[in-house]
């Protein structure tokens, strides 16, 4: 199969946030089957925070992710199963288990300035014979030169692909362009882009990334990802098709999957609400959305105040415990004013 | 009582911070710093403070074993293995601040009394020192089925050793939560935050206790008492908020500000390691003194 761009479908990993990590084996099988039939090359399956993410901090998985990985792999004859691993949360131990369960790709994710914590996991990915990806999250939080330096580290550890990850859905198209161009000039390996739609820019950013030289793009069917979701896969497939870019993915089959299988399981439609909009506006990690909604209810606060304060404090991915911490402080301040 | 002589192996940041803390100790006399780089700031400081400086590593110390009875190992896991081997049969006690995890793990306010005669004890991890006391405090009132800790530290305070093997942190800390904290199951997460100015170390501890066993008032009092115990040796250890109760779950927010001896105050994660190690040595010294007194009493 000749593809100009390789799409990774992330609904079964990033979408785990929107599903509050409640995926069942049956849902995963139906979605993975549809994606495989539509000829999507990569399907990411894991807890939203990656392998080992099931926790009180991020939310417990209803189903053990290894079962979900195994189930997805069992119905895919050409799509490859990818997993996400955040060093500090998951370990090489979980990575080995995921590889035994059928994963063929690992995406090792660190905050944009912390690539060196990924070394042992990238090594292990390669040792296990997996396609290995460096995933630089919250890419907006570092200057372009720093991003390049960190991507070079991942390349030096043996990563096959490096991604610019707009975890907060806050980058504007020209910012995506300058990042991808800089990486393209500095690295020999392939470049990817992972967007979030919090500012309604995921599609535009994905196009900007592709035009700048990215050949790996992430999408989530029906926008089933954290925050307002990612680049909507079926839309991206249609748009790229109109541009004459070969993704190898069948747009009709993607539309059917979105409509018939994914839409009915969504807890609510993936719209850009004030919570997800403010994630993009304030530059906050998209998976904070549901946790912040809960904290806003518990402490009777406006979700925007919580998220903006988290943005001010330069909180990074994984720091969900700061949400209650900040909400508690804001509530106390509010009380003091009354 | 006569001060017990101690030495420091390793003249990096940790070793030098230990040096500054030990110079204040009322029960320990720091006599020696053992390094391999004579130009290191640590060895220069040691010399300036009148310590015996050994620049050819553990071999150099073995020629002058009378210099110290307790040694702190602030080198690397690999070097620690060598040091344990070299010191075998010498009767010296070794306090390990590397991730080697050879000797039994110790958290001073939890299990120190059982371990004061061990030849090697290890200090687990910074996250372990900051959170295991809390898990234990909950568990001594209501039995903890599951404890999870999230340690967030400033990127600047995470050295190359921590970064190259971050899995060691999660695995060693998890094991300490279970074996020393008493949780039936443990989990540890570490996050590096690069914000400038650097953030202080924060730890969030979640404990789930057995059904209908949550005694909120007693658990809270037990946590507050434990925080006071830790503050005796880590003055910058404090709760950021009252414990939050949610049915059978309690969430505790801790912050650790360093004493700013040699390391910056934001690196509470390093400070709690050195402070806890000094506390361990002081307790060992006290136990030695008690033994001697007992023997003398019998004669």
Number of residue pairs across A and B with CB atoms under 8 Å?
A: 86
A164 and A31 housed in the same domain: yes
The reply to whether residue B189 touches residue A57, judged by beta carbons under 8 angstroms, is yes
Q: Which of B187, B191, B249 sits opposite A319 (nearest CB)?
A: B191
B178 and B135 housed in the same domain: yes
The residue range of the domain holding B16 is 4-122+274-296
B134 and B198 housed in the same domain: yes
Cβ contacts of A232 within 8 Å, gap of 6 or more = A197, A202, A203, A219, A220, A221, A222, A223, A258
Tokens encoding A11? 């609904």
Tell me if B23 sits within 8 A of B30, measured CB to CB.
Answer: yes
Torsion-angle region of A44 (φ positive above 0: left; ψ -120 to 50: alpha; else: beta)? beta
Tokens encoding B45? 């400081």
Where do the DSSP E strands lie in A29-102? 42-44, 80-85
Tokens encoding B273? 């390691």
Q: Which of B125, B147, B158, B166 to mutate to test the interface with A (most CBs of A within 10 A)?
A: B166
B175 and B220 housed in the same domain: yes
The reply to whether residue B150 touches residue A57, judged by beta carbons under 8 angstroms, is yes
Confidence at B299, pLDDT banded by 50, 70, 90: low
Alpha carbon of residue A215 to chain centroid: 17
A191 and A310 housed in the same domain: no
**Where in the sequence numbering do the catalytic residues of B fall?**
126
Q: Can you give the pLDDT at residue A210?
A: 98
| Domain containing residue A311: CATH number | 1.10.8.60
B229 and B216 housed in the same domain: yes
Contacts of B208 in chain A (CB under 8 A): 56
A37 and A186 housed in the same domain: yes
**Where in the sequence numbering do the catalytic residues of A fall?**
17
B284 and B225 housed in the same domain: no
A326 and A260 housed in the same domain: no
Cβ contacts of B199 within 8 Å, gap of 6 or more = B152, B153, B154, B193, B266
| Domain containing residue B253: CATH number | 3.30.360.10
Q: A51: which DSSP letter?
A: T
| Domain containing residue A125: CATH number | 3.20.20.70
- Looking up tokens 């990590």, which residue turns up? A21
A181 and A135 housed in the same domain: yes
A243 and A312 housed in the same domain: no
Tell me if A9 sits within 8 A of A233, measured CB to CB.
Answer: yes
Contacts of B189 in chain A (CB under 8 A): 55, 57, 88-89, 318
The residue range of the domain holding A325 is 287-337
d(C-alpha B299, C-alpha B295), whole Å: 6
A80 forms beta bridges with: A42
- Residue A315 domain-assigned (yes or no): yes
d(C-alpha A85, C-alpha A94), whole Å: 9
Last residue of a domain, one of A233, A265, A297: A265
Q: Does B171 touch chain A if contact means CB atoms closer than 8 Å?
A: yes
Tokens encoding B89? 């049969």
* Local confidence pLDDT in tens for the 338 residues of chain A: 789 999 999 999 999 999 999 999 999 999 999 999 999 999 999 999 999 999 999 999 999 999 999 999 999 999 999 999 999 999 999 999 999 999 999 999 999 999 999 999 999 999 999 999 999 999 999 999 999 999 999 999 999 999 999 999 999 999 999 999 999 999 999 999 999 999 999 999 999 999 999 999 999 999 999 999 999 999 999 999 999 999 999 999 999 999 999 999 999 999 999 999 999 999 999 999 999 999 999 999 999 999 999 999 999 999 999 999 999 999 999 888 87
Q: Count structural domains, chain A.
A: 2
- Closest C-alpha to B8, from B91, B99, B90, B92: B92
The reply to whether residue A55 touches residue B253, judged by beta carbons under 8 angstroms, is no
- Residue A275 domain-assigned (yes or no): no
Distance in Å, alpha carbon of A318 to nearest chain B alpha carbon: 7
Q: B144: which DSSP letter?
A: E
B242 and B280 housed in the same domain: no
A223 and A174 housed in the same domain: yes
A29 and A130 housed in the same domain: yes
Tell me if A234 sits within 8 A of A251, measured CB to CB.
Answer: yes
A179 and A323 housed in the same domain: no
A247 and A312 housed in the same domain: no
A95 and A183 housed in the same domain: yes
Instruction: Please give the angle made by the CA atoms of B120, B126 and B129, to the nearest 5 degrees.
Output: 70
Alpha carbon of residue A214 to chain centroid: 16
Give one DSSP letter per residue of A267-293, joined into a string. Answer: SS-----HHHHHHHHHT--TTHHHHHH
- Residue A276 domain-assigned (yes or no): no
Q: Does B211 touch chain A if contact means CB atoms closer than 8 Å?
A: no
pLDDT tens digits along A178-221: 999 999 999 999 999 999 999 999 999 999 999 999 999 999 99
B77 and B42 housed in the same domain: yes
ipTM of the complex: 0.96
Distance in Å, alpha carbon of B61 to nearest chain A alpha carbon: 35
The answer, yes or no, to whether residue B288 has pLDDT greater than 90, is no
- Residue A280 domain-assigned (yes or no): no
Q: Count structural domains, chain B.
A: 2
A188 and A221 housed in the same domain: yes
Tell me how crowded residue A64 is: count the other CB atoms within 10 A of its CB: 14
Distance in Å, alpha carbon of B232 to nearest chain A alpha carbon: 25
| Domain containing residue B116: CATH number | 3.40.50.720
């Amino acid at each position: 199969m000749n593809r100009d761009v390789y799409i990774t479908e992330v609904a079964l990993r990033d979408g785990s946030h929107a599903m509050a990590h409640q995926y069942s084996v049956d849902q995963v099988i139906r979605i993975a089957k549809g994606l495989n039939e539509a000829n999507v090359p990569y399907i990411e399956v894991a807890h939203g925070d990656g392998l080992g993410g099931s926790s009180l901090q991020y939310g417990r998985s209803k189903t053990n992710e290894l079962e979900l990985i195994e189930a997805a792999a069992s119905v895919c004859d050409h799509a490859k199963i990818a997993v996400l691993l955040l060093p500090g949360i998951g370990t090489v131990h979980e990575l080995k288990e995921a590889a035994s369960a059928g994963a063929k790709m690992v995406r090792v994710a660190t905050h944009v300035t912390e690539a060196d914590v990924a070394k042992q996991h990238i090594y292990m990915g390669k040792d296990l014979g997996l396609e290995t990806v460096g995933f630089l999250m919250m890419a907006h939080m570092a200057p372009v030169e720093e991003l390049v330096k960190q991507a070079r580290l991942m390349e030096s550890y043996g990563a096959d692909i490096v991604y610019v990850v707009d975890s907060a859905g806050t980058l504007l198209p020209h910012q995506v362009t300058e990042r991808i161009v800089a990486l393209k000039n500095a690295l020999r390996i392939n470049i990817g882009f992972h967007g979030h739609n919090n500012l309604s820019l995921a599609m535009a950013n994905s196009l900007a990334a592709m035009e700048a030289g990215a050949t790996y793009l992430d999408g989530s069917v029906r926008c089933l990802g954290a925050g307002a979701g990612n680049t909507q896969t079926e839309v991206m497939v249609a748009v790229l098709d109109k541009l004459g870019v070969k993704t190898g993915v069948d747009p009709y089959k993607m539309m059917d999957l979105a409509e018939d299988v994914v839409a009915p399981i969504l807890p609510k439609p993936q719209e850009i609400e004030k919570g997800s909009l403010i994630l993009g506006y304030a530059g906050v990690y998209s998976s904070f959305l549901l946790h912040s909604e809960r904290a806003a209810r518990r402490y009777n606060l406006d979700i925007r105040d919580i998220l903006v304060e988290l943005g001010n404090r330069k909180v990074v991915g994984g720091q969900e415990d700061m949400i209650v911490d900040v909400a508690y402080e804001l509530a106390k301040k509010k009380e003091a004013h009354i | 009582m006569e001060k017990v002589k101690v030495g420091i192996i390793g003249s990096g940041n940790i070793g030098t911070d230990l040096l500054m803390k030990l110079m204040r100790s009322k029960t320990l006399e720091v006599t020696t710093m053992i390094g391999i780089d004579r130009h290191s700031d640590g060895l220069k400081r040691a010399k300036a403070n009148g310590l015996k400086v050994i620049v050819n590593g553990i071999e150099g110390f073995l020629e002058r074993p009378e210099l110290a009875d307790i040694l702190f190992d602030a080198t690397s896991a690999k070097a620690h293995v060598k040091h344990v081997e070299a010191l075998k049969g010498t009767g010296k006690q070794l306090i390990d601040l590397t991730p080697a995890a050879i000797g039994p793990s110790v958290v001073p306010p939890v299990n120190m009394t059982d371990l004061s005669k061990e030849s090697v004890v290890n200090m687990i991890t910074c996250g372990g020192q900051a959170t295991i006391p809390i898990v234990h405090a909950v568990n001594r009132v209501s039995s903890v089925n599951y404890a999870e800790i999230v340690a967030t530290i400033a990127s600047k305070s995470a050295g190359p050793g921590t970064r190259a093997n971050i899995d060691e942190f999660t695995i060693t800390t998890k094991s300490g939560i279970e074996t020393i904290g008493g949780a039936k199951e443990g989990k540890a997460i570490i996050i590096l935050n690069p914000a400038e100015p650097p953030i202080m170390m924060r730890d969030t501890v979640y404990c789930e206790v057995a059904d209908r066993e949550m005694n909120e008032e007693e658990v809270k009092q037990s946590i507050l008492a434990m925080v006071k115990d830790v503050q005796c040796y880590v003055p910058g250890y404090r709760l950021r908020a009252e414990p939050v109760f949610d049915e059978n779950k309690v969430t505790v927010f801790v912050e650790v500000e360093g004493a700013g001896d040699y390391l910056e105050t934001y690196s509470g994660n390093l400070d709690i390691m050195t402070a806890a190690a000094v506390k361990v040595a002081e307790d060992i010294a006290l136990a030695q003194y008690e033994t001697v007194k007992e023997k003398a009493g019998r004669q």
